[in-house]
Amino acid sequence: MAAGKLLHICISANKGIAKHEVLSANLLVEHGVEGDAHAGDWHRQVSLLAHVDIESMRAKGLTLEPGAFGENLVIDGIDADELGVGSRLKIGDVLLELTQLGKVCHTRCAIYYSTGDCIMPRTGLFARVLEGGKLEPGAAVEVVEKVPRAAIQAAVITVSDRCAAGTMIDTAGPAVANLLSSKLQAHIAWTRTIPDEIDQLAEAMKELCDRRVDLIVTTGGTGISARDVTPEATRMVIDRELPGLAEAMRAASALKTPNALLSRAVAGVRRETLIVNLPGSLKGAIENLDAIAAALPHAVKMLRGESAHPESDAGRMVKPKSPELYQPQPASAPKTR
């Protein structure tokens, strides 16, 4: 596996500010860097930046000290752009598992105003600590398990009061996860079970979108009983609806049972994440997912900003003769009557 080196270790007592370099640090299991404000029982226990990304900002004339972007660890010699969520890094005796790529900044913090830009939302890596230990600069960095960045990062949420309470075994959620893995080679980054509570479900989907998951698939809560609120929660979260996916699922399932016409499942997009509702039954969930699986990789590519048709698009690109042709033109003055 690829090998690199740890260049800097940084901590801070507060969030939202630049960190300062330290000569060594203890990383605690399922906690993070001892004494750092971002450590705790959550998924972003440790933040990392590649040295090459920091150097690209220095090349713009910025004077940057280690920790300027709020990173805990600066690593070199590793192609961070190739690592997806679920990849594991061995740094000295410490084992980290990547849990998030980049982040969503809802407000600009002191780091942005001090540097004029912040690369952490674009190129930052976040991880949790699986095996702890003491770190010092110069420690070897090794990728011991690689999940390709190109792989679809998926989350499966089972929505069920009884499954959440432990009175019923969830069969649909694991089956959906297995199908996503086998048919789309997706990496199942997270699985959750949530009761039929609209606010709780909406918050869970928002959090996963903030983690920049490519695909969220829910199972359950799409029917017409009073507790079926998955479509309502989804509509609270999405920016745009994709009715074609829901229509295709209902049409395919209706060929086998008229009860499929009672499904209120929806699909839509929140920022870079595609969200799809499936029924809660094992048979219904698999039938519905099978009906749309072929379209999902294409959708993910589009949401990632990749060209949907790279071969044909290459021949259609127009190189402007003058940059001014593609500059916004000032609005003309309104005509007077």
Q: CA 223 to CA 164: how far, in whole Å?
A: 18
Which domains are seen in the chain, by residue range?
Answer: 3-145 (2.40.33.20), 153-306 (3.40.980.10)
* pLDDT digit string, tens, across residues 10-61: 999 998 888 999 999 999 999 999 999 999 999 999 999 999 999 988 888 8
Query: The pTM is what?
Result: 0.81
Contact between residue 163 and residue 193 where contact means Cβ atoms under 8 Å apart: yes
Give the pLDDT of residue 110: 59
Cα torsion 315, 316, 317, 318: sign: positive
At 237, the amino acid letter reads: V
CA distance 231 to 238: 10
Residue-wise pLDDT tens digits, 131-169: 999 999 999 999 999 999 999 999 999 999 999 999 999
Amino acid, res. 245? L
Mean pLDDT score of the chain: 89
